[in-house]
Amino acid sequence: MLSDHTVSILIFAGIDVIMALSFYLPASAGQLSAGQGGFMALGAYTAAYLTVQYGVPFPIALAAGGVIGGLVGLAVGFPALRLRGLYLVLVTFGFGEMVRVLFLNAPAFGGPGGFAGIPPATTVWHVLGLLLVLVYFFTRLSGSRMGRAFAALRDDEAAAEAMGVNSTYVKLAAFTAGGVIAGLGGALYAHYTLFIDPEAFGVGRSLFVMLYAVFGGLASFWGAVVGASILSVLPELLRWVKDWREIFYGVLVLVMMLVRPQGLLDPALLARLSLRGERVAARG
C-alpha cells in the first residue's frame, strides 16, 4: 500500500509529464510554445468552476477543461501561423501572461485570492490512465501521416509545403491538441490541490514545462516523459541537501544542457522507439 506522500509525488510527477507532452506536441511540428501554463490555467479554472458552482461531475468537468484548452489553442494558433523560433516563443509567452492577468482580475474566479473549495476528485488512477492514453496516442501518431507531417514541418517548412503538406492545418492541429492536453493537466491539478491561484500558472510554470521536454530530448515524446519524470521527482530525492537542493538542481540541469544539449535520451534509441511505434501503428 502506497503512502499518501508517495501517491502525492506520483500524481504531481504524472501531471508534469502530461504538461511536458502538451509542449512536445506543437514542438514536434516546429512550434515552440511558452504559453502552456496559460492553457493549464484555463483547464484548471474551467473544471474547478463547473464543479464548485454547478456541481458538474468530475469526468465532465475534466473533459470541459480539455475542450476549453483546445479551443483557445486553436485561437492562439491562428496568429502564430507565420511565426517561428523566438518570435513564436514571445507571442505565446504573452498569451500565458494575459491568461494569468485575466484570472488575477476576475472576481468570479477568486481574483488574486485564488479559487478555493474545489472538491477532491483526482486520483493516481486518473493521472496514470490519462498517461496511458497519451502514450498510446503518441505511439500511433509517430507512425501516422500527421506525425510525418509534423516532422516535415519541424525539419524544413518550405520543403514540407512543396511536398504537399498543408502547414496551416498541421500547425493549428498541433496547437489545438497541445491545448487539450494542457487543459486536461490543469483540470487534474485543480482537483488534487483543491485550491488554485493565478500565480501557480505564471511564466515559471511554462518555463519548467519547456525544461522538462528539452531535458529529456525533443527527438521523441519519450524524451518529454523521461525528462519530466526525472526533474519532477528529483527535488524529493534531494531533500537530504536541504537548503542547497535548489542550487544543486539548477547546477545539474545546467551541466546536463552543456554536456548533452540534444537531451538525456540517445536520439538513436528514440529513433528505434519511434520505428517500433510505427510498426505498431501499421499493424493496428
14-46 pLDDT, tens digit each: 999 999 999 999 999 888 888 999 999 999 999
Of 180 and 258, the structure prediction assigns the larger pLDDT to: 180
Q: Residue 215 in contact with residue 227, Cβ under 8 Å?
A: yes
Residue 50 — very low, low, confident or very high, per pLDDT cuts 50/70/90?
very high
Give the pLDDT confidence score for residue 215 in this predicted structure: 86
Rounded average pLDDT over 81-96: 83
Confidence check: pLDDT of 278 > 60: no
Percent of the chain with pLDDT over 70: 90
Q: How far apart are CA 280 and CA 284, in angstroms?
A: 6
135-185 residue pLDDT tens: 999 998 987 889 888 888 888 888 888 888 888 888 899 999 999 999 999
Give the pLDDT confidence score for residue 282 in this predicted structure: 54
**Which of 203, 185, 197, 190 shows the shortest CA–CA distance to 109?**
197
Question: Which range is most confident: 83-92, 125-134, 161-170?
Answer: 125-134
Type of residue found at 143: G
Give the pLDDT confidence score for residue 135 in this predicted structure: 94
- pTM score, two decimals? 0.90
What Å distances lie between residue 258 and 214, 251, 252, CA to CA? 12, 11, 10
Q: How far apart are CA 212 and CA 223, in angstroms?
A: 8
The H-assigned helical ranges of the chain are 4-27, 36-54, 58-77, 85-104, 124-142, 145-155, 157-162, 167-193, 203-216, 221-237, 245-259, 267-283
Residue position matching grid coordinates 548533452: 260
